[in-house]
Amino acid sequence: MKIAYIFPGQGAQYAGMGKEMYDGSPQARKMFDRADEILGFRITEVMFSGTEEDLKQTKATQPAVFLHSVIMATMLGDRFRPDMVAGHSLGEFSALVAAKALSFEDGLKLVSRRARAMQKACEAEPSAMAAVLGLDEAKVEEICKTVTGVAVPANYNCPEQLVISGSVAAVEEACEKLKAAGAKRAIRLQVGGAFHSPLMESARVALEEAINETEFSYPVCPIYQNVTAGAVTDPALIQANLVAQLTAPVRWTQSVINMVADGATDFIEIGPGKVLQGLVKKTHPNVNAGSAEISY
């Protein structure tokens, strides 16, 4: 019996997130207050009192989800004993901090840098993402290659649930072709731009310098990184995969399959929402998947 802890990414945020932890735990309050100092703005106000629209701004969304997850993992204390960890996109940073490969302060600084770089890349060129349901991976990959412009698989979330990413015209063309090929749905997502595609190259370059200047340690357990979907413990390889992640797809389906193959029987999601545990169950119906429970 092995436990895999999993950490959500952008999209899991909700208005009021983290307020209960801030009010109920001096330890959590200290970490939230430190985050305000590091970021140079009151992320706590956005999280606790901001609207859904406020939280959708990438510069706020990514630090907010990261903080919620990392603080929750910290509050688990001795109960947090992972045999393996993984995080979906942004969640990979949360997983690395929870697994002691990266300090809380350095993780937050990198997440903030990442969010700003991605926002800038989104503003530089009109781009989009779309959810595709009901087609296998190979068919989606094949159709994306026939489109004029950039359209690539960005998130392999679970069997027959993918997200594609690219320029607006290319994604729209791909959606029409995917529906014609039998997709149950191929619909544009309300996101800022083409995450995990070549259109994030400027963000990858901006983040690479910061990642290479940051100290990474060996994690307490293997992390299954998005780029390869395989278990990694070497700090240099972790850094390289984090850099590549911005322009490469999130291989979540493959990560879950590999974690189960390596003995994972229980998946515990740490952070806002329940999206990842749902994806785990769709990929491997026979494993246990639930949310972390904290006490005050």
Distances (CA, A) of 46 to 6, 9, 63, 228: 24, 17, 11, 34
- Catalytic residues, by residue number, are 89, 196
Give me the phi and psi of 64, to 5 degrees please: -65, -50
3-state SS class at 196: coil
Please give the Cα distance from 293 to 291 (Å, whole number).
6
Cite the DSSP H helix spans in the chain. Answer: 19-24, 26-39, 43-49, 52-56, 58-76, 91-98, 104-124, 137-144, 168-180, 201-212, 235-245, 252-261, 275-283
Both tokens of residue 221?
């357990």
Rounded to the nearest 10°, the torsion over CA 134, 139, 140, 142 is: -170
- What is residue 25's three-state secondary structure? coil
How far apart CA 130 and CA 168 sit, in angstroms, is: 10
